[in-house]
Structure 1
């Protein structure tokens, strides 16, 4: 097939996108490839992530609530889809590259462990250092593609790595995801907290309700519009000082009243116990690990266990634990 479709899309990017936008034609991979006749490099990255097993596993990974009763609570997959939607809206308004934004958004959380942040904290305590953003990059550079990764572009990997933690993404598209991720999880986790009856709308501090609203839709709309207005014409993505301060207050409130709330403490403790016991079991029984993990780490057992355990879904981790340690009826 002729290369004209992809080339036309790349040409359109230079014509219609901001001069500050990342351009697909300028994207670089570690390994050179034959180009797709239809899709740009960022579009191919998005599709590779979307069709990957690590992304599919996100549907059974906790966002906040471990094995929630009910179908409407967020998972890591729904969170990633919501981040993509929010960030594409911002990117379109600023004439930036939506395909790059979508690829980063869909891939940013694949490195999360089972049981949400408590799983991340547990692995960090066991091996000394573990960050889900770094694991996301490891997944797409080592733990997929039979040990060779998916050969994603540098811009996508940079956005995934720097969506949290120190350092800023090199692209404006990555910077959008860095802030948009926080908008998504704060607003949607608040919505889930209302559904779980951990919070009521009246629990939300009055300053937050006044400045950004009290419903998910109001909150997202206010913060998205603020990002667009604050970033218009600038070479960096930002928020106004007022909304940035409110967002920090909102985040502090959510950590105190939801993420570290006493109502979730029992489940968090159970999660730590499960992961700790599984890690120790594999340490003493390396022969039952899938052999690929040891091969991909060059025989580094702790790294192989970390890679395997971090990739488990909540349900599968619980199932393995029951199989290994709970007597059958």
Structure 2
């Protein structure tokens, strides 16, 4: 017969376990969740990952652990999630680059429309067209005029081949009818640092924001649906007649492996969208350059499919793909 002391000890041990540790078969979540960021620490994707993982952990009642799996323009981490068990315990914080651009440029090992299940969107992102102060341009038209006068001298940094900054730099050069050299980096943070140091001239990325605020870079225009609240004096490129027909948009979204149960997708979508309504989450996302947007999984799926098709056509026209 089991002693009263042993029974008591067993009961206390069980009481000390977290709630998820006693989840039954098939229950979600049943263990800590791995939240993969396919870019290095310090990137905008990383900032969004850490914010939303904390918000989800509070609602799901389990640890949600960010893992940086950077490499090959975000495709290394994306492939890991695409190949994972479809039970909701490994998630991907994706951005437009690794789902709608990179798959057109090389054999990435996954089909973004077939191998991943959309869950929710953190929002559409703004980007700044920003230059080092040594560049003799205070407006976007002045930058284009300078680049035309000095063919091939201008370069632009990005978070890597196949990133949104890579595509937008190429589109700007095409529309402005000038030559520019692309300088890819392993993430947006080192790309922005290179421009702040004067090693590169130009960047188009939300992570340029703190450098502009600190005076290390000069903002010429905003890429986004409207003016960025943090930079109300900076016009959008569209206001200047530039970029109105550029394909795709900047966004960040949460994805799971394909075939993840619908009930798990629905739970994650609800908790993610509810988190977007928290004032501190909303404020942080806006600091990162996002306009929070709660949408359904099928809406995010439609956006990915439309951007994937339009961007593929643009890449072929630009002879990047």
Greater relative CO (CA pairs within 8 A, separation 6+): 2
Same fold at TM > 0.5: no
Higher helix proportion (structure 1 or 2): 1
More strand per residue: 2
Q: What is the TM-score with the length of structure 2 in the denominator?
A: 0.30
**TM-score (norm: length of structure 1):** 0.30
